[in-house]
Structure 1
Amino acid sequence: MKKKILVVDDEISICLLLENFLSQDYDVVSLNNGSDALEWLEGNLPDLIISDIQMSKMDGYEFLTNVRKRGFTKHTPFLMLSARAESKERIKCYKLGAQDYLTKPFNPEELEELVKKNLFPIHYAIEW
């Protein structure tokens, strides 16, 4: 059974790009705002969440905060995706509970490695 990844980004092109990169190995669900994603999470549990920061209706910070307050998603790995490259933005995301932060435009190979790192932690690695 494939691992499930929830992608939340208001840019449809980014959602399609992530689906294209990830859908061969993972089940990918894309939603365009944090409110819809929280509603989707009421009945679903992804193995990883990838979210943009700058979104309409609910920004990525608020979405992440809400995800961390919920019992079932409290420990779900979370990767923030943003055009903001400043260190203070990364630190804010880490303090809110994100495991990783990837800057747009991103390298697909780096995305792949961050996804693997979060879905298959190093202590489960077969090869060293």
Structure 2
Amino acid sequence: MKKKILVVDDEVSICLLLDNFLSKNYEVVTINNGLDALIWLDSSIPDLIISDIQMSNMDGYEFLTKLRQRGFTKHTPCIMLSGKSESKERIKCYKLGAQDYLTKPFNPEELDELVKKNLYPIHYAIEW
């Protein structure tokens, strides 16, 4: 059974890109805003969440905060995507509970490594 990844991003092109890239190895669900993602999470629990920060209706910070306040998604790994590369943005995400932070435009190979690291943390490294 494939691991399930939830992608939350209001840019349709990013959702399509991530779906195309990740769906080879994972089941991918794309949702275009944080509010709808929280509703979806009422009935489903993904193995990993990839969320944009700058979104309409609810930004990624608020989405991440609400995600961590819910008992059943409290420990779901989350990778945040952003066009901002400043250290303070990364730190804010880490303090809110994100496992990783990736700057757009991102390298697909780096995304792949972050996904594997978060889905398979013990077996991630090829060589020890």
Q: Residue in 2 aligned with 1:18?
A: 18
Distance between the aligned counterparts of 1:127 and 1:17, measured in 2? Answer: 26
Deviations 1:6-57 (A, max 9, x none): 0000000000000011001000000000000000000000000000000000
| Distance of 1:66 and 1:127 partners within structure 2 | 34
Cα separation, partners in 2 of 1:19 and 1:127, compared to 1, 3 Å: same
**Structure 1 residues 109 and 125, CA, compared in 2 at 3 Å: closer, same or farther?**
closer
Is residue 124 from structure 1 mapped to residue 118 from structure 2 by the alignment? no
1:40 to 1:85, Cα distance in 2 relative to 1, 3 A: same
Matches within 5 A, 1:52-63: 52-63=52-63
Shift of 1:124: 2.9
Residue of structure 2 equivalent to 1:5? 5
Q: TM-score, normalised by structure 2?
A: 0.97
CA distance in 2, matches of 1:6, 1:125: 20
Across the aligned residues of Structure 1 and Structure 2, the Cα RMSD in angstroms comes to 0.9
The aligned residue for residue 97 of structure 1 is 97
Deviation at 1:86, TM superposition (A): 0.3
Q: Distance in 2 between matches of 1:125 and 1:33?
A: 30
8 Å contact from structure 2 (residues 10, 55) kept in 1: yes
What residue in structure 2 maps to residue 83 of structure 1? 83
The count of corresponding residues between Structure 1 and Structure 2 is 127
Runs of 5+ in structure 2 lacking a partner? none
Opposite residue 74 of structure 2, the aligned amino acid is K
Q: 2:125, 2:56 → 1: CA distance?
A: 41
Aligned to 2:66: 66
